Amino acid sequence: MTIKVHEKLLLTGAAGGLGKALRERLKVNCSVLRLSDVQAFGEAAAGEEVVLADLADAAAVNDMVKGVDAIIHLGGISVEGPFSPIFQANILGVYNLYEAARKYGVKRVVFASSNHVTGFYRQDQTITAEHPARPDGLYGLSKAFGEDLSRFYFDRYGIETACIRIGSSFPEPKDRRMLATWLSFDDLHRLITACLTTPVLGHSIVFGMSANAVTWWDNSRARHIGYVPQDSSDVFRDAVYARTPAPDLNDPAVQFQGGGFVRAGPFE
């Protein structure tokens, strides 16, 4: 049973893949779920509010945040690409979000960071949240900025944040890399719930992964959050091996944790 510690939650990026997966799940965490994205994605259902906002528009973000008790921030660009749109959505956008949280007294944020913050560590390494960032591209760089910004807003203004370095959250792993990075939708909800309800969150970095046998990430520094994954990529291992070729160990996408992101670009 989930304890509702917040009356009204804001979910940004509600029209995206993870936003759609969480829309119904998060209703058990609050009385009212406010949903936001940059473009229209339908009408609000019972127990919902819909507020459209461009993250780069500070006034729109203020309206989006006003009146909520906590924020689950999935909004922004989630793939590698040219810098200008990433800057607008992921850098200026996250600044606008935290400024609005400060103005309106929101004290807890769950920030969707990314495994691409550390994508240039090798796949034969196991890292903790205390390892320095090694972004594998402009997208990963923008998420590293978001982590630093959220730490500043915790140190200066006391806004608690969980930075979830999401691995690969899909219905099932698509390839061999995802056997290490997979995060089920239900485990993502369990993790967000833990971040919303742990008594003292502080500023925490946690790797978003299920209970996979093979992993590159040590989550022990986030035990105070209380996240216990229930799913595992292991049940998909035989099927993934059967449909995918053996890895080329000379391929940077196989050598580094960021996979194909390490060789994306440059962008004209």
**CA pair distance 219, 208, nearest whole angstrom:** 9
Q: What H or E segment, with its residue span, contains residue 21?
A: helix 17-23
Q: Of residues 98, 121, 139, 153, which has the active-site annotation?
A: 139
Is 153 known to be catalytic?
no
Asked if residue 204 lies in contact with residue 163, where contact means CB atoms within 8 angstroms, the answer is yes
Q: Strand order in 108-114's β-sheet?
A: 48-50, 32-36, 8-12, 70-73, 108-114, 160-166, 203-208
Find where tokens 């742990």 sit: 198
DSSP state string for 138-181: HHHHHHHHHHHHHHHHHHHH--EEEEEEE-B-SSS--SSTHHHH
Active centre residues (catalytic): 139
